[in-house]
Structure formats: C-alpha cells, structure tokens
C-alpha cells in the first residue's frame, strides 16, 4: 500500500497555458520544458544553442503539445524583446516564464577577470531581469502569470569556487523578492527555485566517486536529485496549487542547506 496518491492523481494540469523556458536546450531546462508539456502546457524553448532548442521543442511536440524554439543570448536585451514579442504573436499569449539559462565555470577568485565577472552577471542577472520585464505586459493581458527564477543553493550558502556565480544567484533572489512585491497587484507571482546537487551530464563527468563523497559528506538525504525532482518544484510554482505563494525561495537540496558543509 502506498501512503500517498500516485503522482498522476494530484498533478495540477496546465492545459491552455503558454510557458517559456530559457536555457531549455539541455540539462535541467529541458527537464522543466518536458515536465510542463507533460502537464498540458504549450512550451517555448529559448536557448543560445538554436539546434538543441529545436530538439527540445521536438520532444515537447512528441508529447502532443505545441512547442516553439528560438536561438539567442538572454544577455542581449534587444534579442530578448524581439523573441518574447515574436512568441506572444505566435502562441497568442504568455502565462509562465522559467528563467533558467545559466553558466558556471569552477573558477577561484584570483582566476576571475573582468570579462568573466561581467558575463556571469549578464547571463544570470541581466537575463533574468529583462526576460521578466518583457513578460509583464503579456501576463497582464491574460490577468496574471508566473515567473520562476532559477537560483541555486549557492545563492544561499557558499561553495569553494565561483564567487561570481554565488553573487549572481544571490542577486536573482533579490530580483525575485522585489518583482514579487511590485507585480502582485496584477496577479503575477514571482518565486525562485534554488536547486542543490543534481545528476546532470556535468556532475556525471566529475565521476561517480565524487558524487558518492559529496552525497555522504554534505547531503542528509545522501544522494543527488534527479532533474525531474527539481522539475516537480518548478511545476508546483507554475500551477494552481501555488496560487498564494509569491516572493519565496523553494530549495530542493536534500537537506544540504540545513547542515552546511
Ligand atoms: N546542475 C545543477 O546541479 C544546478 C544546481 C543549481 C542551479 N543550477 C542552475 O540551473 C540552470 C541550468 O543548469 P544546468 O546544469 O542544466 O546547465 P546546462 O549547462 O546543462 O544547461 C544550460 C543551458 O543554458 C543555455 N545557455 C547558457 N547561456 C545562455 C545564454 N546566455 N542565453 C541563452 N541560453 C544560454 C545553454 O546553451 C544550455 O542549454 C542554471 O541556471 C544553473 O545555474 C544547476
């Protein structure tokens, strides 16, 4: 006997919603796009890599949804405005934005030059802000919407490397709170997801031994998350079950942020 209903019994449907996921050509972004499509949403996949974005769109269409792809850099404000306007024209509206596009590079402070610092801020902070800004008018036209900003556990606790990534992910939490307050009168809810360690191609490439060590030493649940588990959190914030949740940070991290390391 299972103590909880099977997931399919209680998953909120997103039929008729149009969702945009940035950086959805690969990794977690692709998992978010597929999870939103599986719940009924039509999905736009925007990524700097147009080819991988088109492949994610194909996978979403295979689930029976409408899906569109576009290739551009989220740090380019003119391109962000062009792409969101084109999406709204094609899809007929916009209800959900997942600001997921991101980079990291495992650099220590002495290794970070001005160019690397500016790029980290541009992709995460500028990208998140201007995609959200371009989504306001179409969301108001639909009577509300959801903006879900992808931060990281490293926006809350320190890692050994990438201080500029930590700073950018913390800035995303600040943007989330400020926009949540400003946009609440229009029923646009703004929240952040701050994932802990996730099984991805990048973490697999660092080796099974490393994953076992991190799991044992830092994570009370003693394992990494699967991308689909982070996608459940994103879908909760995109759906009707989170209608009274705004300005919050949900951090699926297996308990890592409780203990620190
Ligand atoms: N993987 C993890 O363990 C983890 C943990 C916490 C937070 N995150 C965050 O989740 C997000 C996705 O991470 P991931 O591991 O799937 O990364 P990934 O590198 O596998 O995928 C990132 C995607 O974003 C795209 N992208 C990069 N720069 C872009 C830009 N300027 N404009 C548009 N698209 C761009 C890439 O082409 C790629 O498809 C990132 O914001 C990352 O910081 C990841």
pLDDT higher than 60, residue 233: yes
Question: Which structural domain, as residue segments, surrounds residue 28?
Answer: 12-250
List residues with catalytic annotation: 165
pLDDT tens digits, residue range 78-112? Answer: 999 999 999 999 999 999 999 999 999 989 999 99
What distance in angstroms lies between residue 102's CA and the mean position of ligand 1's atoms?
4
Q: What is the pLDDT of residue 225?
A: 98
Q: Is 67 a pocket residue for ligand 1 (Cβ < 6 Å)? A: no
Cβ of 120 less than 6 Å from ligand 1: no
* Mean pLDDT within 40-59: 98
Residue with CA closest to ligand 1 atom 42: 102
Confidence of residue 46 (pLDDT cuts 50, 70, 90): very high
| Interatomic CA distance for residues 141 and 139, integer angstroms | 5
> How far does residue 23's CA lie from ligand 1's centre (Å)?
6
Q: Is 150 helix (H, G, I), strand (E, B) or coil?
A: strand
Ligand 1 center to 35 CA (angstroms)? 17
Per-residue tokens: 209: 């031994």
In a domain, 153, yes or no: yes
Q: What is the pLDDT of residues 123-140, one digit of tens each?
A: 999 999 999 999 999 999
Question: What are the distances in angstroms from CA 126 to CA 20, 43, 59, 60, 102?
Answer: 17, 22, 29, 28, 11
**Is residue 206 scored above 90 in pLDDT?**
no
Index of the ligand 1 atom closest to the CA of residue 122: 31
Separation of alpha carbons 141 and 50, rounded Å: 29
d(CA 107, CA 114): 13
- Decide if 261 is inside a domain: no
**Structural domain count, the chain:** 1
* Ligand 1 closest atom vs CA 74: 32
Confidence (pLDDT) at 74: 98
Looking at residue 202, its pLDDT comes to 82
Atom of ligand 1 nearest to the CA of 26: 39
261 band by pLDDT with thresholds 50, 70 and 90:
low
256 located within any domain: no
Whether the predicted pLDDT of 9 surpasses 80: no
Lowest average pLDDT, out of 4-13, 102-111, 152-161, 230-239, goes to: 4-13
- CATH number of the CATH domain containing 54: 3.40.50.720
**Is the minimum distance from the CB of 73 to ligand 1 under 6 angstroms?**
yes
**Is 254 touching ligand 1 by the criterion CB < 6 Å?**
no
Q: What is the pLDDT of residue 201?
A: 87
Asked if residue 1 is part of any domain, the answer here is no
């Amino acid at each position: 006997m299972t103590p909880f209903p099977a997931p399919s019994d209680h998953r909120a449907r997103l039929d008729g919603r149009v969702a945009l996921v940035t950086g959805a050509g690969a990794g977690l972004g692709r998992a978010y796009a597929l999870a939103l499509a599986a719940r009924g949403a039509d999905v736009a996949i925007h990524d700097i890599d147009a080819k991988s974005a088109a492949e994610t769109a194909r996978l979403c269409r295979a689930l029976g949804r409408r899906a569109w792809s576009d290739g551009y850099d989220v740090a380019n404000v003119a391109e962000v405005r062009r792409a969101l306007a084109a999406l709204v024209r094609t899809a007929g509206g916009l209800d959900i934005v997942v600001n997921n596009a991101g980079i990291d590079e495992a650099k220590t402070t002495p290794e970070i030059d001005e160019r690397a610092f500016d790029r980290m801020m541009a992709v995460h902070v500028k990208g998140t802000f201007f995609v959200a800004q371009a989504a306001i008018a179409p969301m108001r036209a639909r009577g509300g919407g959801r903006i879900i900003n992808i931060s990281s556990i490293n926006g809350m606790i320190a890692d050994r490397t990438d201080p500029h990534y930590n700073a950018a992910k913390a800035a995303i939490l600040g943007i989330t709170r400020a926009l949540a307050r400003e946009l609440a009168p229009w029923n646009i809810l703004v929240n952040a997801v701050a994932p802990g360690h996730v099984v991805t191609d990048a973490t697999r490439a660092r080796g099974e031994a490393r994953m076992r060590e991190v799991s044992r030493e830092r994570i009370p649940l003693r394992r990494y998350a699967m991308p689909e588990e982070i996608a459940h959190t994103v879908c909760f914030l995109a759906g009707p079950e989170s209608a009274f949740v705004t300005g919050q940070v949900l951090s699926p991290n297996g308990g890592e942020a409780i203990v620190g390391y």
